[in-house]
């Protein structure tokens, strides 16, 4: 290490899986997480899926002495579930909500209600400005049919918006940190897009020393809370929780050590969550040119990734256009049926028809049914119209990015 002093930063990241009434042994696990954080004294703690504000308040009270600064990001119906605890003061925060977030009618997945978003926390530690991004992503559903991931276009829109948000907001930062559950495998196009477009580096790949689950997996079949059937194609588990970083100005960041938990801690009966926690020790030093700047050769690879992502977004766009059309048609048909019924009813009232052609009850039921279909179909038509707009907008932005990449000298 040349000259300048080094800042050593210890980070803890965990998807807490703390959904009220649904997550198993939630309160017990939150207590265990609090104990662990108090014992270990990290510098920065990034927690996801803390859906209940009560859990956040409990943690905040418990950790007040060792992590005096904290923030909870509020959004959506249930919340963003994102919270941050820190030993250092938080200077500013911002929340960016993705424009697409699954489908409201996929109630069993519930993504739409979670207000998926990315937070931004600005901190100054030893004179170094940190932009820290705790993201919250569309869940991975049905791991076993990854080939037919209906959410892929939405996931790519989120990855793109996250990357754009980081690029546009991090220009005054010295160090950028992104830590959280990205719900994507390391080789997925979304991760490659995010990493390529922002220049962020993967702590797992860069770590000098690693300790924990094989391949850095954070969702492993051994964990007593994971859904075993969904993990069948991945006997070793999958890695979907990341700590990514880069230095922007004249700093270098190195990952000295990366650890994951491996099930319950010694002496504990249960693990902290259905995910394993990720813990990184970063070394930050002021020196020379920033590392990780995009190079000419990297541009070509990046253009390939953006092209691939844009193709997938295009596929989603056409699917959304089809949906918009068919729900619109359904709404028009229901409206026509309603008008027909209204005409028939008015005709009967005016005494035009000698007798009423239908029994009252079924006539009434049919009217309610067509009204219901009309409301539902109109709602879905409106929803898919929004989806089309956002997919189209993202496709445009990606096209602009590709043009900029090609025009770069």
Among the listed residues 12, 42, 51, 73, the single contact to its own copies using CB under 8 A: 73
- In the complex with its own copies, which residue's Cβ is closer, 1 or 400? 400
Interaction of residue 112 with its own copies, rule CB under 8 A = no
Q: Report the catalytic residues.
A: 275
Instruction: Tell me the C-alpha distance between 195 and 269, whole Å.
Output: 37
Q: Which of residues 364-393 bind its own copies (CB under 8 A)?
A: 364-365, 368, 382, 385-386, 389-390, 392-393
Closest to its own copies by CB, 113 or 225: 113
Which tokens sit at 282? 């970063």
Closer residue to its own copies (CB): 164 or 321: 164
Q: How remote is the C-alpha of 54 from its chain's centroid?
A: 22
- Interface with its own copies (CB under 8 A), residue from 34, 76, 134, 153: 76
Q: Write out the H or E segment, with its range, that includes residue 86.
A: strand 83-86
Among candidates 78, 98, 94, 95, which has minimal Cα distance to 18?
A: 78
Report d(CA 369, CA 351) in Å as an integer. 26
> Binding of its own copies at residue 171 (CB under 8 A)?
yes
Name which position in 6, 27, 70, 97 contacts its own copies (CB under 8 A): 97
Parallel, antiparallel, or unpaired for β 175-181 and 241-247?
antiparallel
Q: How far is CA 239 from the centre of its chain?
A: 15
Eight-state DSSP code of residue 214: G
Per CB under 8 A, 95 contacts its own copies: yes
Cβ distance to its own copies smaller for residue 36 or 384: 384
> What does the alpha-carbon distance between residue 116 and residue 113 come to, in Å, rounded to a whole number?
8
Shorter beta-carbon distance to its own copies: residue 115 or 316: 115
CB of 270 to its own copies, least distance (A): 30
Q: Which stretch binds its own copies (CB under 8 A): 69-77, 139-147, 292-300, 305-313?
A: 69-77
The one segment of 146-154, 278-286, 304-312, 359-367 that binds its own copies by CB under 8 A: 359-367
Angle at 30 between CA 26 and CA 31, to 5 degrees: 120
Instruction: Give residues with Cβ within 8 angstroms of 73, minimum separation 6.
Output: 79, 80, 82, 83, 93, 95, 117, 119, 134
Residues of this chain that bind its own copies (CB under 8 A): 71, 73-77, 79, 90-97, 99, 113, 115, 120, 164-165, 167-169, 171-172, 360-361, 364-365, 368, 382, 385-386, 389-390, 392-393, 396-397, 400-401, 404
């Amino acid at each position: 290490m040349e000259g300048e002093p080094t800042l050593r930063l210890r980070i803890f990241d965990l998807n807490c899986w703390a959904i009220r009434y649904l997550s198993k042994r939630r309160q017990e696990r939150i207590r265990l997480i609090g104990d662990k954080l108090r014992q270990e004294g990290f510098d920065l703690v990034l927690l996801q899926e803390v859906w209940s504000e009560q859990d956040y308040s409990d943690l905040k009270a418990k950790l007040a002495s060792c992590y005096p600064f904290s923030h909870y990001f509020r959004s959506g119906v249930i919340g963003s579930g994102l919270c941050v605890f820190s030993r250092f003061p938080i200077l500013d925060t911002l929340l960016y909500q993705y424009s697409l977030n699954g489908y409201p009618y996929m109630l069993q997945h519930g993504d739409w209600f979670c207000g998926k978003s990315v937070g931004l926390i600005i901190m100054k530690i030893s004179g170094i400005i940190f932009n820290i991004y705790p993201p919250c992503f569309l869940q991975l559903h049905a791991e076993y049919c990854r080939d037919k991931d209906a959410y892929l276009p939405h996931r790519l829109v989120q990855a793109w918006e996250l990357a754009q948000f980081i690029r546009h907001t991090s220009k005054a930062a010295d160090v950028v940190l992104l830590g959280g559950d990205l719900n994507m495998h390391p080789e997925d196009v979304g991760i490659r897009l995010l990493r390529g477009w922002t220049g962020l580096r993967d702590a797992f790949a860069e770590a000098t020393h690693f300790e924990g689950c094989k391949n850095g997996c954070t969702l492993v079949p051994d964990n007593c809370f994971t859904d075993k059937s969904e993990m069948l194609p991945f006997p070793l588990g999958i890695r979907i929780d990341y700590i990514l970083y880069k230095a922007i100005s004249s700093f270098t960041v190195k990952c000295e050590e990366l650890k994951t938990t491996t099930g319950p801690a010694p002496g504990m009966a249960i693990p902290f969550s259905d995910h394993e926690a990720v813990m990184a020790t970063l070394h930050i030093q002021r020196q020379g040119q920033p590392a990780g700047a995009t190079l000419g050769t990297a541009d070509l690879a990046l253009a390939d990734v953006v092209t691939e992502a844009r193709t997938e977004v295009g596929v989603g766009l056409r699917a959304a256009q089809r949906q918009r059309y068919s729900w619109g048609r359904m709404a028009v048909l229901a409206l026509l049926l309603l008008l027909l019924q209204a005409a028939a009813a008015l005709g009967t009232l005016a005494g035009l028809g000698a007798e009423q052609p239908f029994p009252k009850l079924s006539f009434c039921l049919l009217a309610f049914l067509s009204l219901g279909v009309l409301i539902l179909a109109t709602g879905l038509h409106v929803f898919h119209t929004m989806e089309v707009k956002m997919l189209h907008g993202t496709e445009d932005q990606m096209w602009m990015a590709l043009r900029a990449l090609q025009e770069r000298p």
